[in-house]
Amino acid sequence: MPTHVLAEAHGDETGALLSFLEAQRGGLRRAVLGLTDAQASKRPSASELSLAGLLKHVAETEQGWIETAQERPHSIERTEDTWHLSFQLEDGETTAGVLEFWDGVARRTEEFIRSVPSLNDTFPLPEAPWFPPQARQSMRWLLLHLIEETARHAGHADILRESLDGKTAFGLVDEERAAREG
């Protein structure tokens, strides 16, 4: 882990989980630091993944899970035919625009999570072959799942960025810090 997540106030489990989620988001955001849209859209490995595509996918996924927990329809519906679009910039989309969209998603995630009375509160999982029938999950599970999903893709982003120009997560942390302090 290239950054240290500050300890939460004693007993603030919600704050701790949100901090760990934000730390993983930071890893993905840093992966595109200083890149053009063209560079962020390159696929430097055998995979179809690009950095811009990972950002978009993680932002859409987080938004979808929060809307599921709120028992609201998804703002962005993906089907088997459009799933691939969540992994690539479409006409008119930019890396900066995806980051701005994700910032809004992150704000809404925090507002929602802080508004629920308890992390033990549950929501129904959608009907899908990979979920048990009538399954419910807690808000705690939701946050842990978002951390897991984001961390998985932050790891992918580390490999993609290093493949593009040799920069590693630790070096990007230093660049980000220098830019902030400079």
pLDDT of the residue at 182: 83
CA terminus-to-terminus distance, the chain = 24
Of 61, 4, 50, residue with least CA distance to 27: 4
Q: Would you state the pLDDT for residue 118?
A: 97
Confidence (pLDDT) at 3: 72
* Residue 89 pLDDT: 92
Cα of 160 vs its chain's centroid, Å: 16
Polymer length of the chain:
182
Q: What is the pLDDT along the chain (182 residues), one digit of tens a residue?
A: 567 787 677 778 999 999 999 999 999 999 999 999 999 999 998 888 999 999 999 999 999 999 999 999 999 988 889 888 889 999 999 999 999 999 999 999 999 999 999 999 999 999 889 999 999 999 999 999 999 999 999 999 999 999 999 999 989 999 889 888 98
User: Hey, is 36 helix, strand or coil?
Assistant: coil
- Which pTM value belongs to this model? 0.93
DSSP β-bridge partners for residue 136? 124
Q: Mind giving me the DSSP string for 76-101?
A: S---TTTGGGGGSPPTT--HHHHHHH
